[in-house]
Amino acid sequence: MIRGILFDINGTLSEIWTDETDKNVYRTVSAFLSYRGVLVDPEVLHGLYFKLCKQQLDDSKELYPEFDVCRLFEKVIQQYAVGDAAKMKKDELKALSETAAQVFRSASRRELKLYPNVKKTLDVLKKRYRLAAVSDGQTVWGYPELNAVGLTEYFSPVIVSGDYGYRKPDPRLFKKALSKTGLDPDEAVFVGNDMYRDVYGAQTVGIKAVFYHSNQGEQTHEGTTPDAVITDFADLPAVIKKLEKTK
- Side-chain half-sphere CA neighbours of 146 within 13 A: 24
> Is the domain 4-17+112-244 a CATH 1.10.1530.10 member?
no
Integer CA distances (angstroms), 233 to 7, 114, 123, 192, 199, in order = 12, 11, 12, 11, 16
95 vs 116: CA distance, rounded Å: 35
Contacts of 159 (CB under 8 A, 6+ apart): 132, 133, 134, 135, 173, 176, 177, 180
Q: Give the pLDDT mean for 59-73.
A: 98
So what's the pLDDT on residue 247? 58
- In the chain, where are the structural domains located? 4-17+112-244, 19-110
- 3-state DSSP assignment of residue 167: coil
Residues 129-156: tens digit of each pLDDT: 999 999 999 999 999 999 999 999 999 9
Q: Is the peptide bond before 237 cis (omega within 30 degrees of 0)?
A: no
Q: Give the pLDDT mean for 51-77.
A: 98
Task: Judge whether residue 173 has pLDDT over 80.
Answer: yes
Sheet holding 130-135, edge to edge: 158-160, 130-135, 4-7, 188-192, 208-212, 228-230
53 vs 13: CA distance, rounded Å: 26
Instruction: Label residue 32 by pLDDT band (50, 70, 90).
Output: very high
So what's the pLDDT on residue 217? 86
Residues 185-199: tens digit of each pLDDT: 999 999 999 999 999
